[in-house]
Amino acid sequence: MTAHMDTVPTERIVPVIREGIVYSQGDTILGADDKAGLAIILEILTVLAEKDGPYRPVEVLFTVGEETGLRGAKAVDVSHFKAKMGLGLDAAGDPGAMIVHAPSQDPWQARVHGRAAHAGANPEAGINAILVAAEGIVHMPLGRIDAETTANIGIIRGRRATNVVPDLVELYGEARSRDEKKLEAQIRAMSDALQQSAQAHGATVDIQVSRSYKRYHFAEDAPIVRLLSKAMRSVGVEPLLVPTGGGSDSNVLIARGIDIIQMSLGMHAVHTNDEHIAIDDLETSARIVLACLISD
Ligand SMILES: [Zn+2]
């Protein structure tokens, strides 16, 4: 069983319960992502400690830095674990959903080099790096590319004065896809758009692409999918196998040989001030986890 201990950054959270649903007071996130997962794991350990009768051997992994690039999972020495499969308690949505298909993510950073000049006295001598970047961005495919591919520019950093034609601008973006070929094509399209704009204006661009995490895909008959589906049915929940556009600790752990499937715990509107979770859903999720551990 695994969950992450960090949340997106926040001030002091004051949880309130209204009609069986836990919210924040409305001015912070709730942090159910991923304290819901921690709560369920601690509850399960308590239940198992008091239980007579057999259950599967259990290992627990609490990670840090999930929201900031899966850094904790990436730092884990998986040789400590005997488990070959497990449950990730870190997905939003109603109980019953499990994430069977997730994308690779490639973040990239580009530096556009123009030429500085005095903006008033001699703008003709300059090559405006911000303008070059802007034209590149306009010609870039961005946002929702297709059902399994997305792309984004998140940060632009230019120079600091208005009286200088900027000679440098830095862009930070990313692309994701559940299909490696599409991801490759998307990265190329973004890079080409910048290169063509640079060429048209006599500027240059250097682009660095990295791999943050790798895609995965569980088949319907994968042992962990079958185990979890059976456990869900045993507590009256119909399993739903869903794809996602996001990454999780699973991307890292699966690549290292532990088939961790993410299951939805009932949290909604995560990373917003409306984040909430029904206590009933927490309990249902805990029952599903327990059923996984005591089934054969
Ligand atoms: Zn999370």
* Helix (H) or strand (E) segment spanning residue 289: helix 279-294
Ligand 1: centre distance to CA 253 (Å): 15
Ligand 1: centre distance to CA 264 (Å): 11
Q: pLDDT tens for residues 234-273?
A: 999 999 999 999 999 999 999 999 999 999 999 999 999 9
Q: Does the active-site annotation cover 66?
A: yes
Mean pLDDT for 92-116 is: 97
Has residue 296 got a pLDDT over 80?
Answer: no
Task: Answer whether 0.75 is exceeded by the pTM.
Answer: yes
**C-alpha pair distances (Å), 283 with each of 124, 249, 277:** 68, 23, 11
Q: What are the DSSP calls for 84-123, one per residue?
A: SEEEEEEE-SSTTEEEEEE-EEEEEEEEEE-B-EETTT-G
Q: pLDDT tens for residues 70-80?
A: 999 999 999 99
CB 196 within 8 A of CB 132: no
CB 183 within 8 A of CB 176: yes
Ligand 1: centre distance to CA 164 (Å): 43
Cα–Cα distance, 38 to 218 (Å, whole number): 24
| Bridge partners of residue 176, in order along the sequence | 105, 150
When pLDDT is cut at 50, 70 and 90, the band that residue 195 belongs to is very high
Q: Which domains does the chain have, with CATH numbers?
A: 2-102+215-294 (3.40.630.10), 104-209 (3.30.70.360)
Q: Does the active-site annotation cover 220?
A: no
Ligand 1: centre distance to CA 248 (Å): 7
* Catalytic, out of 34, 66, 148, 281: 66
Structure token pair of residue 79: 């040789």
Ligand 1: centre distance to CA 66 (Å): 7
Ligand 1: centre distance to CA 112 (Å): 34
